[in-house]
A and B are shown apart, each in its own frame.
Chain A
Amino acid sequence: MSAIVTISDLRKTYDGGLTALNGVDLAIEEGEILALLGPNGAGKTTLISAICGIVSPSAGQVVVGGHDIAGAYRAARALIGLVPQEISLEPFEKVLTTVRFSRGLFGKRRDDALVESILRKLSLWDKRDSQVKELSGGMKRRVLIAKALSHEPRVLFLDEPTAGVDVELRRDMWEIVKELKAQGVTIILTTHYIEEAEAIADRIAVISKGQILLVEEKDKLMRRMGRKQLTIELDRPLEEIPEALAGYGLEPGPVAGTLVYSYDSQGERTGITRLLNDLQAAGLQLRDVSTRESSLEEIFVGLVAGDAGEERS
């Protein structure tokens, strides 16, 4: 795969002195879904806005589909669709009119069949003659997506597409994103919901304080950073952990009578067999065992906390 968006040393300091982007380097592969994760104020929206032409970068370069966003802005922007975080729509316009407007603004000829198919896909066709102000919040967000798709972008930026959206609509949205990916559209989404990134992203980029901390394939990241935990439920609570089991780093579990053993699931030896043997040798009776994997959220919190720690030291 080749990069469709290349960001080099992108910086942005606002007039007020706030540095939102502090040298971002990132290559986004064609056809992938990249989730951009980061805490509030990390620079996610500024990064997207700078690529799309809404914020002027202070320094650095962005190339989209081989076109520099400053020098060849027409060619670059023609490839990009943006679904902003805020619901910004003309309240008195009809759904159909506002979607047609977006297509025209991006220099594309009117195409009623295409607009109809987009509206149908987003369950908006029945609402095509409704004024935007009559729609629910979730429907308005769909209109924003329809507007962005109306000019057939090759790269789609979704800035927190499911913020404040109910679970059902969120799952619909994920389906739409997956369909777009199947059509070859590159998707970059920012999100607060780690669950979202976990469900649909191919790669994860973590941004904090205007810098990219890491970019990695989601599965690899989860494998690499993922720790597994084995929870052992005993038939009775222990006063203290027996001497023979001291080397395992066992910790008391959330419920009395449980012990938690953490291990690296990618390690050559997990040590589970040996632990179970030693437990038996120590005369402990097991009632139940269960394992769980650390979620992306735990990995993310660990990364961002680590970054803050490094800065302090």
Chain B
Amino acid sequence: MNLEAVRAIYVFEMGRTFRTLLQSVVSPVLSTSLYFIVFGAAIGSRIQEVEGVSYGAFIVPGLIMLTVLTQSVSNASFGIYFPKFIGTIYEHLSAPASFLEITAGYVLAAATKSLAIGLIILATSFFFVELSIAHPFWMVIFLVLTCLSFSLLGFIIGIWARSFEQLQLVPLLVITPLVFLGGSFYSISMLPPFWQSVTLFNPVVYLVSGFRWAFFGLADVSLGLSLAAILGFTGLCLAVIWWIFTTGWRLRQ
């Protein structure tokens, strides 16, 4: 196992995070705070409680998920796309490192960054709403698993993308709608029965549901199903990455 390679990539990527701290951390925190102000304080005060939880607090898990998902995907996809774009990928391909080690370096760095942002947003939310966390351990587990699995997805997107436009395409056209329609701002039980069934095909529903359960003990789907969905998704991403490195798809000619 070439752990030095994992460490080298991780340190290198975290170095870039610190170099671009304003863009990396401050901007997502600021935009999420705006959501709190608009949905929590301004509009939320006029919305009745959702399943016994004030609306401002109800949307906290969803807002954290929204940021963590988009950040994980964009961090990891940029991390691997940039070496491809400028040509330094030659070094990764010629290094005595396996697909698992290279992936681990990039994905752990991207996940660390999104985890930090998620926790900062959680801390910020205490300024805006009254919040208590029913199952802190599970809250952390869901947060970490989400950061990791969506960083894996981002890594795949970064390898797939052939232009900066494509790099933006998936987060913009796929991730954001899935998160908005995945029950971030509402309980899916509020939807008509037909749309409730349709929503169950959205993987983000399971993440938000499990994460919200960790906060309030309320869930749209069972905890076991949420965990199975996120672990299954992680496994699927790992299988795709293994295939990419074995075949050299979009990496090796």
Contacting residues, chain A, for B97 (C-beta < 8 A): 74, 105, 107
Cβ A104 vs Cβ B94 within 8 A:
no
Q: Which B residues are in CB contact (< 8 Å) with A86?
A: 87
A53 within 8 A of B: yes
Contact of A6 with B by CB under 8 A:
no
A65 CA / B143 CA spacing, docked (Å): 46
Complex: how many Å from CA A101 to CA B8? 5
Binding site of B, secondary structure by majority: helix, strand, loop or mixed? helix
State the Cβ distance, A9 to closest chain B Cβ, in Å.
20
Q: B4 within 8 Å of A by Cβ? A: yes
CB distance from B208 to the nearest CB of A (A): 36
**Total contacting residues, chain B, CB less than 8 A:** 28
Contact A107 B86 (CB under 8 A): no
- Distance between Cα atoms of A93 and B83 in the complex (Å): 12
* A137: interface (CB < 8 Å): no
The answer to the question of A89 belonging to the interface, with a C-beta cut-off of 8 Å to chain B, is yes
A40 close to B (CB within 8 Å): no
Within 8 A of A (CB), among B1-27: 2, 4-5, 7-9, 11-12, 15-16, 19
The closest CB in chain A to the CB of B92 belongs to A105
A281 within 8 A of B: no
- Residue numbers in B under 8 Å from A102 (CB-CB): 91
Q: In the complex, which residues of chain A have a beta carbon less than 8 angstroms from the beta carbon of B96?
A: 73-78, 106-107
A141 at the interface (CB under 8 A from B): no
A92 and B15 CA atoms in complex are apart in Å by: 11
Task: Tell me which residues across on chain A come within 8 A of B11, comparing CB atoms.
Answer: 101, 104
Rounded to whole angstroms, the CA-CA distance of A109 and B2 in the bound complex is 11
Q: Are B88 and A97 neighbours in the complex by a CB distance under 8 Å?
A: no
* A88 touching B86, Cβ below 8 Å: yes
Chain B residue nearest in CB terms to A53: B94
Contact of B88 among A76, A78, A80, A90 (CB under 8 A): A90
Q: Are A147 and B91 in contact (CB under 8 A)?
A: yes
Task: Report the minimum CB–CB distance from B143 to chain A (whole Å).
Answer: 28
**Could you tell me the distance in whole angstroms from the C-beta of A288 to the nearest C-beta in chain B?**
54
- Given A73-B96, A106-B5, A107-B2, the answer on whether A88 and B253 have CB atoms closer than 8 Å is no
Interchain CB contact (< 8 A) of A104 among B8, B87, B90, B98: B8
- Asked if A104 and B88 sit within 8 Å, CB to CB, the answer is no
CB contact between B86 and one of A73, A91, A109 (< 8 Å): that residue: A91
A interface footprint on B142-170 (CB within 8 Å = 1, 0 otherwise) = 00000000000000000000000000000
Give Cα A74 to B97, complex, Å. 7
Knowing A82-B90, A86-B87, A90-B86, say if A105 contacts B15 (CB, 8 Å).
no
A104, B253: Cβ atoms closer than 8 Å? no
Q: State the CA gap A56–B12 with chains docked (Å).
A: 27
B93 within 8 A of A: yes
Partner of B93, one of A54, A76, A104, A107: A54
Q: Do B253 and A105 have beta carbons less than 8 Å apart? A: no
Closest to A55 in B: B253
Residue B232 lies at the interface, judged by CB distance under 8 Å to chain A: no
A84 at the A/B interface (Cβ < 8 Å)?
A: yes
Other-chain contact of A97, B12, B86, B87, B91 (Cβ < 8 Å):
B12
Instruction: Tell me, in angstroms, the Cα distance from A80 to B93 when the chains sit together.
Output: 12
- Whether the Cβ atoms of B90 and A84 lie closer than 8 Å is yes
Asked whether, in the complex, the Cβ of B5 is within 8 Å of the Cβ of A107, the reply is yes
Q: Which residues of A contact B140 (CB under 8 A)?
A: none
How distant is the Cα of A105 from the Cα of B96 in the complex, in angstroms?
8
Cβ-defined contact, B15 with A56, below 8 A = no
CB distance from B218 to the nearest CB of A (A): 45
Counting chain A CB atoms within 10 Å of each CB, which of B15, B90, B94 scores highest? B94
Instruction: Mark B164-191 against chain A: 1 for CB-CB distance below 8 A, else 0.
Output: 0000000000000000000000000000
State whether A104 and B4 are in contact (beta carbons under 8 Å apart), knowing that A53-B93, A56-B253 are contacts in the complex: yes
Q: How far apart are A87's CB and chain B's nearest CB, in angstroms?
A: 8
Complex Cα spacing A107 to B98, Å? 11
C-alpha gap A54/B216 in the complex (Å)? 51
Query: Would you call B5 and A105 a contact (CB within 8 A)?
Result: yes
Residue of A nearest to B251 (CB): A54
Q: Residues 101-117 of chain A: 1 if any B CB is under 8 Å from the residue's CB, otherwise 0?
A: 11111111100000000
User: Is the CB–CB distance between A105 and B88 below 8 Å?
Assistant: no
Specify the chain B residue showing the minimal Cβ separation from A106.
Answer: B95
A52 at the interface (CB under 8 A from B): yes
29 A-B contacts, Cβ less than 8 Å apart?
A15-B253, A52-B90, A53-B93, A54-B94, A56-B248, A73-B96, A74-B98, A77-B95, A80-B94, A82-B91, A82-B94, A89-B86, A89-B88, A90-B82, A90-B86, A90-B88, A91-B86, A100-B8, A101-B9, A102-B91, A104-B5, A104-B7, A105-B4, A105-B5, A105-B8, A106-B4, A106-B5, A108-B4, A109-B4
The 4 A-B residue pairs whose C-beta atoms are closest, nearest first, are: A104-B8, A88-B87, A74-B96, A77-B96
Residues of A within 8 A of B (CB): 14-15, 49, 52-56, 73-78, 80, 82, 84, 86, 88-93, 97, 100-109, 147
